[in-house]
Structure 1
Amino acid sequence: MKIYIKNMVCSRCEMAVRTLFDEMKISVLSIKLGEVELSKTLENLEKKQLSEKLKSLGFELLDDKISKTIERIKNRIIDLVHHQNEQLKINLSSYLSEDLNQDYSALSNLFSETEGITIEHYFIAQKIERVKELLIYNELSLSEIAFQLNYSSVAHLSNQFKKTTGITPTQFKQLKEKKRKQIDDL
């Protein structure tokens, strides 16, 4: 049996959910972003208790098909952008369509109607968040970041970054360094 959980976005989330299932003595076959595969179907009381405990951790148990599909799309994109850099060179629509075993236009329409933005805009937003992360780490140059995230050029990355955030990557980096210095002065 698979259950779907909203707001699982990183490996720490997976660990927190695994710990919760262990505490509740619910046998888990596998956990990945937004999905938990169980060895058995949950009783109604177990499901209710699980839902309450997940909420206390900032997660949400998803019951309806639309919410599950939207969360699966988001989790696949987050995983792709933040954890599978080498995969970013693939076609997003093909990736989602194959992974979710559904027609991309149906997924796209559902996502847009539910979330108020397109899958492409959500994907770009995640890529920009990843760029911010990599700029803060200060381990890669802007060219290396552009290459890693499959931008055609540094200019393309910079234009998309500015369009999304209102500032250039260089300005973002300078702001973060200034804030860091102020914290260090404390």
Structure 2
Amino acid sequence: MKMNIKFDYNIICKAVLQEQLDGLNLKYKLNNLGEIHFNKHLTAKELESLTLAFGKYGIEILANPQNVLVERIKDLITELINDSEKSRKYNVSHYLSDTLNYSYAHLSSIFSEITYSSIENFIILKKIDLAKQLIIHKNLTLTEIAHELNYSSVAHLSTQFKKTTGLTPSAFQRIIKKRQEIE
């Protein structure tokens, strides 16, 4: 038997963080965008325990403020792309600048310096990942997917999809349908 599920990474991550932090009896407050505020400075032993506990789940403690900013940028972009209503309402550069209180030029510079890629390229990759998920898990037409992801046209979506994956969205759909028929 095969079952498809949908899950929210943010909810899962918050649950894991809460479970691990509660297990270590630390007083904390979870904020959005991957921030945890502690009521006191952590001892070296507490920090080591926390690092080990988080590491089991692939969660890394970021010490470099630039890395933290890049992760916040990625989180905000992911949140924006996954919320089609919000993504139609906001321009990404304005959204990032307004939310993080930095100029877009500064954010773009830091992002490129840390990731060796542009914010625009990250946005395209996230949109194409979501397009693949929509093709796999929803019965949407390419027109509906293009609209959902705020593309100006199906041709624009198709061009970026092919450039990123090497396949057209239609070819990807056919491959997925064949796999599902086999299973």
State the TM bucket, normalised to the shorter chain.
0.7 to 0.9
1:18-52 Cα shifts (integer Å, max 9, x gaps): 211122222343343422344x1342222221111
Secondary structure of 2:61's aligned partner: strand
1:51-88 Cα shifts (integer Å, max 9, x gaps): 11111111100111111111111111111112x22111
Q: Distance in 2 between matches of 1:176 and 1:157?
A: 18
Q: Which has the higher contact order (CA 8 A, sep 6+)?
A: 1
Which amino acid in 2 is paired with 1:125?
L
Secondary structure of 1:29's aligned partner: strand
CA contact (8 A) 1:31 1:37 kept: yes
List runs of 5+ in structure 1 lacking aligned partners: 1-8
Secondary structure of 1:62's aligned partner: coil
Q: TM-score, normalised by structure 1?
A: 0.86
Give the number of equivalent residue pairs.
Answer: 174
1:136 matched to which residue of 2?
A: 136
Query: Shift of the alpha carbon at 1:127?
Result: 0.5
Secondary structure of 1:30's aligned partner: strand
List runs of 5+ in structure 2 lacking aligned partners: 1-8
Alignment of 1:94-105 (within 5 A): 94-105=94-105
Q: TM-score, normalised by structure 2?
A: 0.87
Query: Shift of the alpha carbon at 1:131?
Result: 0.4
2:85 matched to which residue of 1?
A: 86
Identity, % of aligned positions: 37
Query: Shift of the alpha carbon at 1:103?
Result: 1.2
Which one is further off, 152-161 or 40-49?
40-49
1:41 matched to which residue of 2?
A: 40
- Greater strand fraction, Structure 1 or Structure 2: 1
Alignment of 1:1-186 (within 5 A): 9-38=9-38, 40-44=39-43, 45-82=45-82, 84-89=83-88, 90-182=90-182, 184=183
Query: Shift of the alpha carbon at 1:95?
Result: 0.6
